[in-house]
Amino acid sequence: MKHIISGVAILIIVVVGVLLKASMYVVEETQQAIITQFGKPVGEPSTEAGLHFKQPFVQKVHYVDKRILEWDGQRTEMPTRDKLYISVDTYGRWRITDPLEFYERLRDERSALSRLDDILGSETRNAIAKHDLIEVIRTSKDRIPVKDETLVESGSGSSNIGVLHPIRKGRKMIEQEIQAAAREKLAVFGIELLDVRFKRINYNPSVVEKIYERMISERQQIASRFRSEGEGEAAKIMGNREKDLSVIQSEAYRRVQEIRGEADAKATEIYASAYDKSPESRDLYSFLKTMETYQSAIDRDTTILFSTQSELFRYLNNANGGTE
């Protein structure tokens, strides 16, 4: 009898233990729980960490993460407003704020990530299609657009090469637009979208080579412009050098002639004061000057014809000491 009573007691204890275990569940700090009965949620979600109770066997616990979760979108090619195809890779952060709504509409995180792919991918394409490439890749709109005159082809009038268009929004505001548009659509699923960012933006591989060719062409235009300006400046410098050299030479020649003139005048004055003191000195001066003329004008091969009345012939006629 005692053995039977002991067995029944042990059985009762086991049953009670099983019932207690089936009726209790623990919610971790990073979790929130939803109770379902025959597949339908019952009661309010358990969002506080600790020990909670439910009806055993007929009710089931479904745990939902309440931490900030990661969404990493797939790289997708899409066109900008200026018809440039780019490859955009985005990522985001989200969390479950209404676990009951989340469970009823999505059930699990895999479905949530799929819905995030659809909504965020669609909003990203819409935002990229409404803006030019420069708006998407620039972080802010603080840059002042400047037209690089070195890239404008001569004689081409208005050219779009080297023109930096004004930035009205910038990448940050575009990211905020995507987040605002997607947040409303995700709120009905019990999801709060915390952040959306562009991870990487790149050109479509099919147009990368064309972009490089355009960049090379623009750099070559700049180099050609610099060479042209340098050659023009060099020609101007050479012209100024020749002009300055001519001015210096003419000034030097003028100064030389002035000095020579002054010297000749001074020499003439000295000669005049030296040889104009008496008739004999004047004759001596005339004789010396005539001899200098003979020396400079007559050599061994020179033939000169003088008239008998020539002043130069006067001294030759009297070379033997005779009188006129």
Q: What is the pLDDT of residues 247-301, one digit of tens each?
A: 999 999 999 999 999 998 888 788 777 766 677 777 777 777 777 777 777 777 7
Task: Return all residues near 319 (Cβ < 8 A) that are at least 6 apart.
Answer: none
pLDDT attached to residue 52: 84
Q: With left for phi above 0 and alpha for psi between -120 and 50, is residue 77 left, alpha or beta? A: beta
Specify the 3-state DSSP secondary structure of 82. coil
Mean of pLDDT values over 182-191 = 93
Would you state the CATH architecture of domain 69-203?
Answer: 2-Layer Sandwich (3.30)
Q: What is the pLDDT of residues 297-317, one digit of tens each?
A: 777 777 777 666 666 666 666
Q: What is the pLDDT of residues 202-215, one digit of tens each?
A: 887 777 777 788 78
pLDDT attached to residue 156: 42
Give CA 298 to chain center in angstroms. Answer: 83
Residue 142 pLDDT > 60, yes or no? no
Q: Which helix (H) or strand (E) holds 208?
A: helix 205-275
Compute the distance between CA of residue 32 and CA of residue 52 in angstroms, rounded to an integer: 11
Residue 49 pLDDT > 60, yes or no? yes
Specify the 3-state DSSP secondary structure of 249. helix
User: What is the separation, in whole angstroms, between the first and last Cα of the chain?
Assistant: 195
Task: Return all residues near 324 (Cβ < 8 A) that are at least 6 apart.
Answer: 314, 317, 318
* Furthest CA-CA distance within the chain: 196
pLDDT attached to residue 22: 76
Beta bridge mates, 179: none
pLDDT attached to residue 115: 93
Helix (H), strand (E) counts: the chain: 8, 9
Specify the 3-state DSSP secondary structure of 150. helix
Nearest residue to 98 (alpha-carbon basis) of 54, 44, 49, 48: 44
Specify the 3-state DSSP secondary structure of 315. helix
Nearest residue to 173 (alpha-carbon basis) of 225, 127, 113: 127
Confidence of residue 19 (pLDDT cuts 50, 70, 90): confident
Residue 107's CB is within 10 A of a number of other CB atoms, namely 12
Residue 200 pLDDT > 70, yes or no? yes
Residue 186 pLDDT > 90, yes or no? yes
Name the pTM for this structure: 0.58
Whether 64 and 103 have beta carbons less than 8 Å apart is answered as yes
pLDDT attached to residue 136: 86
**Residue 270 token pair:** 């000295």
pLDDT attached to residue 1: 67
Give CA 206 to chain center in angstroms. Answer: 23
Mean of pLDDT values over 211-239 = 88
pLDDT attached to residue 11: 75
Compute the distance between CA of residue 38 and CA of residue 98 in angstroms, rounded to an integer: 21
Q: Which of 8-12, 56-60, 304-308, 320-324 has the highest mean pLDDT?
A: 56-60
Using the structure block, give the residue that is written with the tokens 């005339």. 286
pLDDT attached to residue 321: 46
Q: Which of 53-57, 150-154, 317-321 has the highest mean pLDDT?
A: 53-57
Mean of pLDDT values over 90-111 = 92
Compute the distance between CA of residue 1 and CA of residue 174 in angstroms, rounded to an integer: 82
pLDDT attached to residue 158: 42
pLDDT attached to residue 195: 94
pLDDT attached to residue 167: 76
**Residue 186 token pair:** 């995700």
Whether 70 and 91 have beta carbons less than 8 Å apart is answered as yes
The residue among 7 and 47 whose pLDDT is bigger is 47
The residue among 294 and 97 whose pLDDT is bigger is 97
Mean of pLDDT values over 48-60 = 84
Average pLDDT, the chain: 81
pLDDT attached to residue 164: 58
Mean of pLDDT values over 167-187 = 90
**Residue 24 token pair:** 């209790």
